A and B are shown apart, each in its own frame.
Chain A
Amino acid sequence: MNRESAKALAIGTFGVAAAMSLAMIASHVSPIVGFNAFFYGAFGGKQQIAETLASTTALLFPALGIAIAFRAGLFNIGAEGQLLIGGLLAGWIGTRIDVPPAIAIAAIFLAGAIGGALWGAIAGWLKAARDANEVISTLMLNFIAASLALYLVTGPLRAPDAAGPELSLLPHAYWLPTLLSHTRATIALPIALLAAFALRYVLDSTWFGYRLRAAGEAPEAARRAGISLSRVALWAMAWSGALAGMGGAALVAGELHRFNTQLSPGYGFIAIAVALVGGLEPLTICVAALAFGALESGGLALQAAAAVPKDAIHVIEGLLVFALAARRYLGARGAGAR
């Protein structure tokens, strides 16, 4: 964790605590009572901790993916769509194969990664071949992904036994083993942590990671040194999508045990905040994901116990991203003007 990302994390933590206190006071709740409810909801017992860890996992995969794209200088807003397509392919594969559970789980994650990678690579290809702005294309691909998924689950792929628009249930043997029994905390968490370490290794120690960072940091110098910016854009977006897609697979195999269009309540968007608060450093992002995971589960408890709407938590998260983005932007501009 470098100094810059540690600073971002500290600012984020204090900012959120201060904003939460204001939200509680505005709802006529003593911050002491409020924080008590919040921390109980996030860490109060086995079930609460498991909920926090489940949210952490769901945020960590797409946040790592977003970090890859951002480090390459690409503003990937499309993690939500990549997660959805990854989940769709994972949920479909899971109902189509008949293999030993370990292999099935590996296949489900692989399918998630491939689905997400293909969806991310569309935006990467548009950038590389047509110089299409990736903010617009990834944002729009989210809508296309949602519509495509809805069409498939209501039409061609709809489970015959299903009550609503969804795919069939995965065989019980393919459900992800839990870390804590009878909870939603699964082995997806250690897999995500492994991915974080792997990503750190790739960024720091491989020529691919070096090229990616060089293209993000100084595109003109990188291009003149013989690094193909189009190739970096394509592969960075593909890997970015692959990680988001693995997040979708984790949700399918670990929580819903089937694919439906309600797979993600916006994890792919909150993950942008996680990635930024984590300073785009894989290991710091793990800490940030835990913090946001606690905000998700604690926020729910806060709503139940103290009638502070959970949306207030999302408003706070949004403000946090806004502040960090502004700081980053102004910082860059300041340096450029010198």
Chain B
Amino acid sequence: MLDDVDLTCEAGEIHALVGENGAGKSTLAAIAAGEITADTGTIERSGRIGLVHQHFALIDRLRVWENVVLGHEPQRGGAIDRGAACAFVRDLGERYGLEVDPEAVVETLPVGIRQRVELLRELARDPGILILDEPTAALSPSEVERLFGTIALLTQRGVGVLVITHKLDEVFAHAGRVTVLRRGRVVEERPISATTREQVARAMIGGEIPAIPAHEPTHGAIAVRVAGLAVPGAIENLSLQIATGEILGIAGVEGNGQSALADALAGLTAFRGTIERPHSIGVIPQDRLLEAVIPNWSLLENVMLGRERATSAKASWRIDRAAARAQCTAIVERFDVRAASIDAPLSTLSGGNQQKLVVGRALVDNPAFVIAYNPTRGIDIGATATVHTELLAARNRGAAILLISFELDELFALSDRILVMTRGALRGEFSERRFDREAIGRLMVSA
């Protein structure tokens, strides 16, 4: 996984660790934090190394304060001192701009707040170095700003922060130094002032960034028509239309009804109102591991999911394995999925390659309507470029595409039109590719 890696993180600095999926970043973080043991080499540390995982390691059914003090609970007379614990959490939160209600149960909190809890838990143990693995993958732009505010406070107090990320914008806006990992080796380490975005991107992928094809608006007839849509507890009276050959971007902070909209359009939830859409549909779900794939199964069996009955075999009850193999091989080749074999378990692939398979499965039959929900969340530059290229190619073939994303850059790069979703309603309309970042950002946070 890793080969002869040297990495230093100084007290009080923000050090960015970048690299594609599967480059070994998370492994390196886990070794540094002592969660797994390296075969050879040494780790020297002054103070504790705290690690905040990309997929949070919180106990969902416990309260915030319970999660934070777990393992070193303040005690009084043999029982946990709940009052002291809550006061501790509040105090810590105020100091670092991480305000959370200590009495809230974790599973009721949105992703951005859960991350604060995770940070608080590590900060409670007074780390010398804090490692954040993909901390902004699920955050809205304003939450990202807030997070880096907290990180700045930490560095002022002498904590060294190692941020693992794909997002070069963040690296160049906030970090003091950058280390690039590729295939388990350090290929570059420099102060930010001595490098450029292009240089870092080239080092990450070991070559030039694939160019996204040119983007010409080709609006056709209306393909998807939603009128008066209501989903209890999430959406009230929502209407939208998508034309053939159009990508409609939905901007918004997570938890404003985007999931209900996607599920209603995919036919996965009960709704009121009318939805007219083509029968052939491809869906790229939001949560890859939970909603899109069966990690223990092979690539082949994962590609069959949802099309297990689409068969040309003579007996209609049988799965047509030969056809499935051919299709899986076609997806692997066309979408550049890098795997040992199509019979390998999907869990052996990097996140980016898993996602390419999910996208390939959704697009391979050229559906007339595509729902893409955060299609590049947590995947690297190369895989992101493949996914973007394929979405644009589907659009140019005449597909109507609903793109829900928490990344404004992604929406700007792909959308023909952008609507902003807040509290289950659509506001503002930005079209003809004249997107005003400030105006969209204001709408996203307006309640």
Contact = CB atoms under 8 A, between A and B. Distances in A.
Interface of A: 205-208, 210-211, 214, 217-218, 220-227, 337
Given A208-B317, A210-B319, A221 B290 contact: yes
B164 interface: no
Contacts of B318: 205-207
B9 interface: no
A250 to B, nearest CB: 26
Contacts of B297: 217
Contacts of A214: 294, 305, 308
Contacts of B268: 223-224
B319 A218 contact: no
Given A223-B268, A224-B268, A207 B308 contact: yes
Q: Which 3 A-B pairs have the closest CB atoms?
A: A225-B306, A218-B294, A207-B308
Interface string B274-317: 00000000010100001111111100010011101101000001
A210 B294 contact: no
Binding site of A, secondary structure by majority: helix, strand, loop or mixed? helix
Contacts of A205: 318-319, 321
Given A223-B268, A224-B283, A337-B57, A211 B308 contact: yes
Residue among B292, B295, B297, B305 with max Cβ neighbours from chain A (10 Å): B305
B144 to A, nearest CB: 27
Binding site of B, secondary structure by majority: helix, strand, loop or mixed? loop
Nearest to B321: A205
A41 to B, nearest CB: 41
Contact of B311 (A207, A222, A224): A207
A206 B309 CA distance: 9
Contacts of B305: 214, 221-222, 225
B266 interface: yes
Residue among B268, B293, B304, B317 with max Cβ neighbours from chain A (10 Å): B317
A224 B292 contact: yes
B119 to A, nearest CB: 20
Nearest to B311: A207
Contacts of B295: 218
A207 B285 contact: no
Nearest to A202: B317
Given A207-B308, A210-B301, A337-B57, 5 more contacts: A205-B319, A207-B317, A218-B295, A224-B266, A225-B305
A263 to B, nearest CB: 33
B436 to A, nearest CB: 35
Contacts of A221: 290-294, 305
Nearest to B55: A338
Contacts, number: 50
A210 B308 contact: yes
Contact of B304 (A208, A210, A220): A210
Interface in B402-427: none
Interface residues of B, number: 24
A73 to B, nearest CB: 12
Contact of B309 (A207, A217, A220, A223): A207
15 contacts: A207-B311, A207-B317, A207-B318, A207-B319, A210-B304, A211-B308, A218-B293, A220-B291, A221-B291, A223-B268, A224-B291, A224-B292, A225-B306, A226-B306, A227-B306
Interface in B146-184: none
Contacts of A225: 305-306
A227 B57 CA distance: 30
Residue among B293, B294, B296 with max Cβ neighbours from chain A (10 Å): B294
Nearest to A209: B319
Interface in B312-361: 317-319, 321
Residue among A222, A223, A224 with max Cβ neighbours from chain B (10 Å): A224
Interface string B50-83: 0000000100000000000000000000000000
A294 to B, nearest CB: 33
A202 B109 CA distance: 43
A218 B289 CA distance: 9
Contacts of B319: 205-207, 210
A8 B360 CA distance: 37
A225 B267 CA distance: 11
A214 B293 CA distance: 10
Nearest to A216: B294
A269 B318 CA distance: 32
Given A207-B308, A337-B57, A220 B317 contact: no
B306 A220 contact: no
A217 B319 CA distance: 18
Given A206-B318, A207-B317, A220 B308 contact: no
Contacts of A224: 266, 268, 283, 285, 291-292
A119 B309 CA distance: 28
Contacts of B283: 224
B280 to A, nearest CB: 13
Nearest to A337: B57
A286 B309 CA distance: 30
Residue among A206, A211, A227 with max Cβ neighbours from chain B (10 Å): A206
A223 B294 CA distance: 12
A209 to B, nearest CB: 8
Nearest to B361: A225
Interface string B249-270: 0000000000000000010100
Nearest to A210: B308
Residue among A205, A207, A337 with max Cβ neighbours from chain B (10 Å): A207
A222 B302 CA distance: 10
Contacts of B306: 225-227
Contacts of B308: 207, 210-211, 214
Contacts of B291: 220-221, 224
Contacts of A226: 306
B77 to A, nearest CB: 33
Residue among A205, A223, A226, A227 with max Cβ neighbours from chain B (10 Å): A226
Nearest to A223: B268
Nearest to B295: A218
Contacts of B266: 224
Nearest to A225: B306
Nearest to B266: A224
Contacts of B292: 221, 224
B159 to A, nearest CB: 27
Given A224-B268, A224-B285, A226-B306, A217 B294 contact: yes
Nearest to A201: B318
B294 A206 contact: no
A227 B292 CA distance: 13
Nearest to B310: A207
Contacts of B301: 210
